[in-house]
């Protein structure tokens, strides 16, 4: 069943701009110039109930703006959107009770109070029946392991602990649609994994629809079967994750710390050099050759530390697409851009 329907959605921001320097600054006081920025440009897709969809794209691609229009925070310049039958930006109470938005970079907790107080306010604002509030809170406290931090001031919590509280408060009213904007940003790897598990579990238990944006490839690969890639406000790709990874990320990044500088060594022969400064080197290599390159490095240079990582999503997308549409890259736009309605059904 289709739960989110987005058709020809666009958002244009009017942004002031000026040249650098004192004179330009004075001039802008009297005559300000504006530039139109098409943050989201004619975007269409649908999402079925219970789907977890990952929104990918570099900074400023339009992911968060799209999310904000779907959650009702922003009015679009043009286009339509229906979420569970509601027009989001009318912000009807009935709609807002059914959704939640978690922003990894912003906190909705009262800074000077223990989390429990923020939870109580949230319960009252959403008018959650007492029994349901208590049972949901108990469940979330158990699942997120919050018991020991409920009475601490939020300002004294670690980033990971605070993020768990943010998740808890976002889910207290049991939303049916969850917008997650960078939910794992800044937290350590263990916590990232726990958050992912929790989100996946919530989706299974309540059949909730989840839209996720993240810079971490691992978030997306662990949670989303379907992804939508946005760049410059356009949808570049909408389809199964498997298709995209195969097309876009067939390489790894090997980072090494050396015991001493190796000026004469030809790192370029191993792959694309991303970084080569003093004793730190990072090389991008095809996925298949990562083991052999690692072997070579370990045997030929004095390695202190070595890590093999997936390249950042932004790099993957920028490298694969540049300024072009996916169709230009693959040679067939109609085939590459999987219509959302088909993939959702």
Partner 1 sequence: MITRAAKLISLYARVNIQNLAAYRFDMYMRIVVSILHLISELMGVWIIFHGTRSVRGWQWQHMLVLVGVYRLVAGGIRIAIVPNMRRLLEDIRNGTLDFVLLRPVNSQFLVSIREVVVYRVADVLLGIFVAGYGCYALRGALPFRESVEFALMLAAGFAIVYAVWLMLGTLCFWFVRVQNIEMVFWNVFEAGRFPIDIYRPQVRWLLTYVIPLAFITTVPAAALIGDEAKIPPSAPLWGFALAGIMLFVSNRFWHFGLRHYSGASA
Residues that bind partner 1 (CB under 8 A): 13, 39, 64-65, 68, 71-75, 91, 93-97, 99-101, 103, 106, 108, 110, 112-113, 117, 120-121, 124-127
* Phi, psi (degrees; rounded to nearest 5) at 205: -65, -45
CA distance 176 to 96: 10
Residue 53 token pair: 């969809």
Residue 295 token pair: 């072997």
Choice between 91 and 324, CB closer to partner 1: 91
- Which 3 state secondary structure label does DSSP give 104? coil
Residue 75 token pair: 């009015």
Choice between 57 and 271, CB closer to partner 1: 57
Identify the H or E element spanning 3: strand 2-17
CA distance 77 to 259: 56
Count of positions (residues) in the chain: 345
As measured in angstroms, the least distance from the Cβ of 56 to partner 1 is 18
As measured in angstroms, the least distance from the Cβ of 93 to partner 1 is 4
As measured in angstroms, the least distance from the Cβ of 244 to partner 1 is 25
As measured in angstroms, the least distance from the Cβ of 73 to partner 1 is 5
As measured in angstroms, the least distance from the Cβ of 72 to partner 1 is 7
Identify the H or E element spanning 319: helix 313-321
Choice between 112 and 148, CB closer to partner 1: 112
As measured in angstroms, the least distance from the Cβ of 305 to partner 1 is 34
As measured in angstroms, the least distance from the Cβ of 309 to partner 1 is 26
CA distance 286 to 320: 14
Choice between 47 and 178, CB closer to partner 1: 178
Residue 97 token pair: 């009770």
CA distance 84 to 5: 9
Choice between 105 and 323, CB closer to partner 1: 105
Choice between 99 and 326, CB closer to partner 1: 99
User: Which positions ≥6 away from 322 have C-beta within 8 Å?
Assistant: none
DSSP string, 123-152: HHHTT--HHHHHHHHHHHHHHHT-GGGTTS
Comparing CA positions, the residue from 104, 92, 139, 127 lying closest to residue 214 is 104
Choice between 69 and 140, CB closer to partner 1: 69
Choice between 13 and 265, CB closer to partner 1: 13
Label the pairing between strands 209-213 and 78-83.
unpaired
Choice between 60 and 302, CB closer to partner 1: 60
Is the Cα dihedral 85, 92, 196, 286 positive or negative? Answer: positive
As measured in angstroms, the least distance from the Cβ of 222 to partner 1 is 26
137-138-141 Cα angle (round to 5): 80
As measured in angstroms, the least distance from the Cβ of 94 to partner 1 is 8
Identify the H or E element spanning 121: helix 115-125
């Amino acid at each position: 069943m289709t739960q989110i329907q987005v058709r020809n959605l666009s958002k244009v921001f009017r942004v002031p701009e000026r040249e650098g320097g004192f004179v330009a600054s004075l001039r802008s006081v009297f005559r300000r110039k504006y530039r139109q920025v098409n943050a989201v440009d004619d975007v269409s897709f649908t999402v079925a109930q219970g789907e977890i969809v990952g929104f990918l794209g570099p900074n400023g691609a339009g992911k968060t703006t799209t999310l904000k229009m779907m959650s009702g925070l922003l009015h679009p310049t043009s286009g339509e959107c229906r979420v569970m039958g509601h027009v989001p930006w009318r912000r009807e109470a009935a709609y807002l009770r059914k959704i939640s938005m978690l922003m990894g970079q912003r906190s909705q907790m009262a800074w000077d109070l223990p989390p429990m107080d923020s939870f109580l306010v949230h319960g009252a604002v959403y008018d959650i029946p007492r029994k349901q509030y208590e049972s949901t809170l108990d469940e979330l406290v158990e699942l997120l392991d919050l018991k020991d931090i409920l009475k601490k001031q939020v300002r004294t919590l670690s980033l990971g602990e605070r993020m768990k509280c943010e998740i808890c408060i976002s889910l207290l009213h049991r939303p049916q649609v969850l917008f997650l904007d960078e939910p794992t940003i800044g937290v350590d790897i263990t916590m990232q994994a726990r958050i992912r598990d929790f989100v996946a579990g919530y989706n299974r238990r309540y059949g909730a629809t989840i839209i996720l944006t993240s810079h971490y490839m691992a978030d997306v690969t662990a949670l989303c079967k379907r992804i939508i890639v946005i760049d410059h406000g356009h949808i570049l790709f909408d389809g199964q994750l498997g298709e995209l990874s195969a097309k876009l990320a067939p390489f790894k990044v090997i980072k090494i710390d050396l015991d001493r500088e190796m000026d004469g060594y030809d790192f370029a022969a191993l792959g694309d050099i991303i970084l080569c400064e003093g004793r730190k080197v990072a090389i991008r290599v095809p996925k298949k050759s990562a083991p052999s390159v690692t072997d070579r490095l370990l045997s030929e240079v004095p390695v202190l530390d070595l890590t093999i990582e997936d390249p950042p999503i932004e790099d993957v997308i920028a490298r694969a697409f540049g300024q072009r549409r996916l169709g230009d890259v693959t040679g067939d736009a109609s085939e590459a851009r999987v219509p959302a309605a088909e993939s959702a059904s």
